[in-house]
């Protein structure tokens, strides 16, 4: 796996932080509970694929889901930042999909175990093209959607986030030092559903400023 970021020569991907339970209706559909602080989990860098890539269903799972998300690319070393200054840490944004082996995740939850295996298989972090972040991009009002075989499955807006992008960055930076190349998957709206071998999955961010098409096998 090449960990270089195509749009930014010399910059490599680092840690992949993911936020769970960040949209109320998704929390309802998963029969979960709202939390006081963001739910954080990680993916390995080896889970990254790009536009035109292939998601491979692992033999361990019979129920793999798409979760479309706004993804943030960190551009500067960030520690203990307050929400009001957190957006300065963002270099770029993209559409992304948190691929999840739902059956493995459900088993882990029942047994009080980490979610890593269900979230971290190779090809489980597809990314679209990156768009330079500028202050005129309103992180709190971006449409995100995903289609499977041409049919819309998820269509949400970041205004429905329980934890804003700025609050997420602030929270993470008070637990970990964030570095250039780190990614943050910011959570998914309702409508998650299974994907199967032979499917084509298309994700979009805000009028197609970032898009992503992947295949499933």
Would residue 2 count as lying in a domain? no
Residue range of the domain that includes 143: 16-216
**Residue 3 within any structural domain of the chain:** no
- What mean pLDDT is predicted for residues 15-20? 98
* 96, 70 Cβ separation under 8 angstroms: yes
Quick one: pLDDT at residue 2? Answer: 77
> Is 201 a member of any domain?
yes
Q: Residue 72 belongs to a domain with what CATH number?
A: 3.90.850.10
Q: Is 153 exposed, middle or buried (0-12, 13-18, 19+ CB in 10 A)?
A: buried
Q: Give the model's pLDDT for residue 1.
A: 65
The answer to the question of residue 11 being in a domain is: no
Q: Within a domain: residue 70?
A: yes
Give the pLDDT mean for 157-167.
98
Mean local confidence (pLDDT), 140-158: 98
Q: What is the mean pLDDT of residues 143-168?
A: 98
Domain count, the chain: 1
Q: What is the CA radius of gyration of the chain?
A: 16
pTM of the shown model: 0.98
Token look-up 């998820």 returns 154
Q: Is the pLDDT reported for residue 20 higher than 90?
A: yes
């Amino acid at each position: 796996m090449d960990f270089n970021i195509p749009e930014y020569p010399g910059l490599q991907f680092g840690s992949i932080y993911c936020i769970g339970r960040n949209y109320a209706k998704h929390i309802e559909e998963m029969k979960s509970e709202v939390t006081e602080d963001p739910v954080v989990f990680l993916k390995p860098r080896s889970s990254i694929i790009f536009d035109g890539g292939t998601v491979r269903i692992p033999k361990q799972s019979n129920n793999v889901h798409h979760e479309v998300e706004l993804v943030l690319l960190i551009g500067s070393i960030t520690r203990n930042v307050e929400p009001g200054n957190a957006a300065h840490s963002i270099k770029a944004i993209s559409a992304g999909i948190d691929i999840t082996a739902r059956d493995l995740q459900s088993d882990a939850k029942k047994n009080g175990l980490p979610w890593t295996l269900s979230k971290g298989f190779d090809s489980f972090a597809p990314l679209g093209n990156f768009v330079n972040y500028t202050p005129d991009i309103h992180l709190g009002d971006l449409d995100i959607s995903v289609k499977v075989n041409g049919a819309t499955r998820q269509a949400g807006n970041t205004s429905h986030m329980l934890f804003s992008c700025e609050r997420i960055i602030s929270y993470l930076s008070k637990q970990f030092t964030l570095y250039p190349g780190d990614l943050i998957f910011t959570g998914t709206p309702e409508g998650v559903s299974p994907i199967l071998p032979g499917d084509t999955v298309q994700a979009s961010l805000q009028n197609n400023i970032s898009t992503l098409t992947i295949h499933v096998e």
